[in-house]
Amino acid sequence: MVDVAVRVPDDVLKKYENVSNATVLGALAKRGYLKVFMNGVHSLAPGRRLVGRAVTLRYLPSRPDLQEHVTRGGHGEGFNETPRWDALEALTPGDCLVADCMGESMTSTGGDVVFSRILSQKAAGLVTDGGVRDGHKVAEYGYPVYGGGSTPTIGEPNVLPYEVNEPIQCGGVLVWPGDVILGDEDGVVVLPSQLAEEIYDECVHHDEVEAAILWHTQREGISPKFFYPFNSETEKIYVEWKKSH
């Protein structure tokens, strides 16, 4: 694989904890990145913000004659050598597991025992467009969990884990290993790693301007329509807001 990813430092990841996903989408759209919001992937642990570097795992449809080859991937003997465990063992603090389950939202990509490893690795969280077995139990671990849904089923009759840290799709979005994954109540946005530092100041400024608009219009009882698109009047109230805050 050609490595185009930049390893985003932990201090940059932390900055994005207070940046709106909608604002990141806007900044990316200006640069031509229009397909970065995952479809069908929702928070299974509401109220938790996810910011993490992607460690990717790709699943394939099951096929009995290739099951052993696919799940062991030529690594050797034993269950512990399956790609799913390889992905979990690759996690470090600041990383999150992103699993491509081909949009099979009710097909399990793992359950509470498997995903307990995310907790012990002190990783940032879990994202999959597949299902999470016993999702309510996984949510109790305390980290952010995003998936197609919660399911009591197991995945192996339908899907098999295949490869780790290669480009994947998840929720219809291309995810490159190391991309920054941002999750909130609205869903999941993929921020290309090489843009994380570039767009941060722009995103913060945008969020501050919108806070200024809300502050001003609520105080004065007027419509926000006069300040969009951002214009000279917007700048005036932003300057006033900065002085007050």
* Structural domain boundaries in the chain: 10-193, 198-244
What pLDDT score was predicted for residue 74?
A: 46
Q: How much is the average pLDDT of 224-229?
A: 96
CATH top-level class of 10-193: alpha beta
Tens digits of per-residue pLDDT, 13-32?
A: 999 999 999 999 999 999 99
In this prediction, residue 3 has a pLDDT band, given cuts at 50, 70 and 90, of low
**Mean pLDDT along residues 37-57:** 97
Check residue 179 and give its pLDDT: 98
**Residue 48 has what pLDDT?**
97
Q: Measured between alpha carbons, how far is residue 3 from residues 6, 165, 173, 179 in Å?
A: 8, 10, 18, 12
Collapsing DSSP to helix, strand or coil, 153 comes out as: coil
Does residue 1 have a pLDDT over 70? no
Q: 170-212: per-residue pLDDT in tens?
A: 999 999 999 999 999 999 999 999 999 999 999 999 999 999 9
pTM reported for the whole predicted model: 0.92
Residue of 14 and 1 predicted with greater confidence: 14
- CA dihedral angle for residue 206, residue 209, residue 213, residue 215, rounded to 10 degrees: 120
**What pLDDT shows up at residue 2?**
47
Mean pLDDT for the stretch of residues 209-220: 97
| C-alpha count within 13 angstroms, C-beta hemisphere, residue 54 | 34
Question: For position 81, what pLDDT does the model report?
Answer: 72
Cα–Cα distance between 191 and 205 in angstroms, integer?
Answer: 18
Tens digits of residue pLDDT in 57-114: 999 999 988 888 877 654 444 445 789 999 999 999 999 999 999 999 999 999 999 9
Percent of the chain residues topping a pLDDT of 90: 87
Kindly indicate the confidence band of residue 144, based on its pLDDT and cuts at 50, 70 and 90: very high
**Residue 172 amino acid letter:** G
Beta bridge partners of 165: none
Mean pLDDT of the chain: 93
Confidence of residue 164 (pLDDT cuts 50, 70, 90): very high
How far apart are the C-alpha atoms of 163 and 71, rounded to whole Å? 9
50 bridge partner residues: 183
Q: Which residues 6+ apart lie within 8 Å of 146 measured at CB?
A: 38, 41, 42, 43, 44, 50, 125, 126, 127, 128, 183, 187, 188
Query: How many CB atoms sit inside 10 A of residue 19's CB?
Result: 21
- pLDDT score, position 10: 97
Report pLDDT for 108.
96
